Amino acid sequence: MSGLFSSENSSRGRPGIFAGKSEAKPHMLPQRFYFARFKGTYPYIFCTKPLNEKSFVHSSHKQPFSSLKENVAMKDHEQRLEDLFFFAKEVLGYTQLTELHLSWFDILLREQFVLLLAPVGHLKTSSCTIAYPLFRLTENHNLRILLVNEVLDNAKGFLREIKGHLTQSARFREQYGHWDLTADTWTEERIQIPRTEIRKEPSIAVASVLGTVVSQHPDLVIVDDPCSNRNTQTPNQRQKVITWFQKDLLPRLDDGGQIIVVMTRWHTDDIAGFLKSEPGFANWKIIDLAAEWLDESGKQHILLPEKFSAEKLAQLKAQLGTSSYNCLYLNDPSGQEGSDFKAAWLDSGRYDHVPDGLSIYVGIDLAISRREGSSRFAYCVIGKDKAGNVYVIDAYRDRIPFNEQLKAAKRVFHQYHPCLMAVESNGYQAAFAESLRTDEETKRMPLKTINASDDKHARLRGLTPLFENGAIRLPKPNGMAWLTQLEEELLHFPHGTEDMLDALWLAIQALETQRVVPKIYYVGDSRRFDNYV
């Protein structure tokens, strides 16, 4: 099936459902719709052709979704679509919504099971998680709606925004009345509006992924961003989310209810990968969109040019690195499986000799145990020139006892005279720093402890754009063992050892700290006080 809403998958880089003529915008509506300015104020959509059901409905789901009351069912689809788009833009004030979001609304009003994969920043929440459920409540006050996010506080934020529309929007209250008559019973996690039927569930409730949804029987479930790097790093984390979705959430959906998952990809085996690959979910409508793509002629297209220009996307790619950019903006998580650091990046910035006049920084990653398989002691020495280029000039890793680790730190200090040395401040590492500070030989060592208690892999992935853009340079291969070891860690990350990478990250933190913190020298030091430039 071809056309605007084809269910056939296109090649990577182009939105999967928008197969058609390459010169057409991917999110344009069929020809039966066009925009006109009505009374010079409001955008309306007019019908110019009769509805062609086959162009829109998933091949395994021949009837458009509908679980509304008879008075709503009597409305034709095009009228509801027009009403929803007007409601979102003019009543709720989401003026940034475009034809792209109109095409999403078209699918939400038709399909019972929807997976929408769209890049970050493309107004998924405003359109699908706020505007759509509120519109459904205007059609049927008795609906039971459940909003889900990976983090409960985020889900509560969705509900706060909805409450704001109900209590503060004069336009909404003028058109739909006062829904906050029982606002004194509202909580952070649930609200109820006036109904014509008695039901135990609230009008809108919120929950978190892996949270309790027992006793809920919603008519509409919207799962907004169920995944992040916090719950997709390991197979066990990913399986927990999938199991919760299958065994806890899906069985709660009321007969004939609708479920919508809107998200950005984080891993090939995340919940989206599961829904796309499992035969039991073949009746789901899947919308897979990229922020940009090239057509057959090589021409670039942008999904939401009103918000993201080609220049802005290029800047985001440079800041995030290719792997993270592909995942967050192209919905292509394939780079998350292999190494985040590409061999071509390492080779493109090789240097022959260490330049003169570098400012030296050192990162030290400490080992806690000598047991085989445990982490190893490592350090990394970097130098920064006045142009901002960072040269990795030495590194080391091994399983050595505490006293040998102290000796290694002293040796590096005396050999390289660094501006600053950074070591982790967690537990055992704090004792290491204290030992150096109280040692007569190293009491003048410029040592800083760094708190690195957050997600380790997320921290190290922050180095990828620096390597990709050539900001960090390695020496040309010269048979040095430390260089081979560092390259192995880079090219096997996140599936290998990371001792030298941890030390490199700490060295970069030392450099970043010295940008804004003055160098501190001691009384009697022959060097003058100044700031690092």
Per-residue confidence (pLDDT) for residue 122, from 0 to 100: 97
Per-residue confidence (pLDDT) for residue 166, from 0 to 100: 95
Give percent of the chain with pLDDT exceeding 90.
55
107-152 residue pLDDT tens: 999 999 999 999 999 999 999 999 999 999 999 999 999 999 999 9
All residues at 6 or more sequence positions from 473 whose CB lies less than 8 Å from its CB, including other chains: 349, 350, 351, 389, 390, 391, 392
What span, in angstroms and rounded, lies between the C-alpha atoms of 393 and 318? 25
Judged by phi (left if over 0) then psi (alpha if -120 to 50, else beta), residue 40 lies in: left
All residues at 6 or more sequence positions from 147 whose CB lies less than 8 Å from its CB, including other chains: 129, 133, 155, 158, 159, 204, 205, 206, 207, 222, 224
Residue 61 structure tokens: 């789901």
Among the residue ranges 53-67, 172-186, 406-420, the one predicted with the least confidence is: 53-67
Inform me whether the pLDDT recorded for 242 exceeds 60. Answer: yes
What span, in angstroms and rounded, lies between the C-alpha atoms of 27 and 25? 6
Average pLDDT, the chain: 81
Per-residue confidence (pLDDT) for residue 175, from 0 to 100: 92
79-112 residue pLDDT tens: 999 999 999 999 999 999 999 999 999 999 999 9
Per-residue confidence (pLDDT) for residue 443, from 0 to 100: 76
Q: Give me the mean pLDDT over the 197-223 stretch.
A: 91
Whether 2 and 19 have beta carbons less than 8 Å apart is answered as yes
**Which is nearest to 301 in space by CA: 97, 2, 14, 9?**
14
Residue type, 137: L
Res. 432 pLDDT band, cuts 50 70 90: confident
Which of residues 491 and 503 earns the better pLDDT score?
Answer: 503
318-357 residue pLDDT tens: 777 777 788 899 998 875 655 678 877 888 889 999 999 9
What span, in angstroms and rounded, lies between the C-alpha atoms of 82 and 43? 9
Whether 138 and 174 have beta carbons less than 8 Å apart is answered as no
Among the residue ranges 250-264, 282-296, 466-480, the one predicted with the least confidence is: 466-480
Per-residue confidence (pLDDT) for residue 336, from 0 to 100: 60
Identify the bridge partners of residue 258 per DSSP, sorted by sequence position: 220
**Which is nearest to 94 in space by CA: 118, 128, 119?**
128
Which of residues 510 and 55 earns the better pLDDT score?
Answer: 510
Per-residue confidence (pLDDT) for residue 42, from 0 to 100: 29
Per-residue confidence (pLDDT) for residue 100, from 0 to 100: 96
Per-residue confidence (pLDDT) for residue 342, from 0 to 100: 80
What span, in angstroms and rounded, lies between the C-alpha atoms of 507 and 59? 55
**Which is nearest to 267 in space by CA: 461, 127, 130?**
461
Write a three-state SS string for 172-186: HHHHHCCCCCCHHHC
Whether 465 and 321 have beta carbons less than 8 Å apart is answered as yes
Whether 114 and 284 have beta carbons less than 8 Å apart is answered as yes
Which of residues 417 and 426 earns the better pLDDT score?
Answer: 417
Whether 382 and 361 have beta carbons less than 8 Å apart is answered as yes
Which parts of 323-431 are beta strand (E)?
359-365, 377-384, 390-398, 420-424
Per-residue confidence (pLDDT) for residue 524, from 0 to 100: 38
DSSP state of 441: T
3-state secondary structure of 44: strand
Using the Cα atoms of residue 64, residue 67, residue 68 and residue 74 in order, give the sign of their dihedral. positive
DSSP state of 270: S
Cis, peptide link before residue 355, omega less than 30° from 0 = no
Distance from chain centroid for Cα 387:
32
Res. 528 pLDDT band, cuts 50 70 90: very low
Place of tokens 């296109």: 10
Q: Which domains does the chain have, with CATH numbers?
A: 111-336 (3.40.50), 343-516 (3.30.420.240)
3-state secondary structure of 33: strand
Inform me whether the pLDDT recorded for 61 exceeds 80. Answer: no
Give percent of the chain with pLDDT exceeding 70.
78
Res. 475 pLDDT band, cuts 50 70 90: very high
363-412 residue pLDDT tens: 999 876 544 445 789 999 999 999 999 999 999 999 898 889 989 999 99
Query: Residue 249: CA atoms inside 13 Å, Cβ hemisphere, count?
Result: 28
Write a three-state SS string for 208-229: ECCCCCCCCCCCEEEEECCCCC
20-42 residue pLDDT tens: 323 334 444 443 343 333 323 32
Per-residue confidence (pLDDT) for residue 425, from 0 to 100: 72
Per-residue confidence (pLDDT) for residue 237, from 0 to 100: 92
pTM above 0.75, yes or no: no
Per-residue confidence (pLDDT) for residue 436, from 0 to 100: 82
Whether 4 and 22 have beta carbons less than 8 Å apart is answered as no
Residue 274 structure tokens: 């599961």
Whether 442 and 321 have beta carbons less than 8 Å apart is answered as no
Q: Give me the mean pLDDT over the 204-224 stretch.
A: 92
**Which is nearest to 85 in space by CA: 74, 72, 71, 96?**
96
Per-residue confidence (pLDDT) for residue 256, from 0 to 100: 92
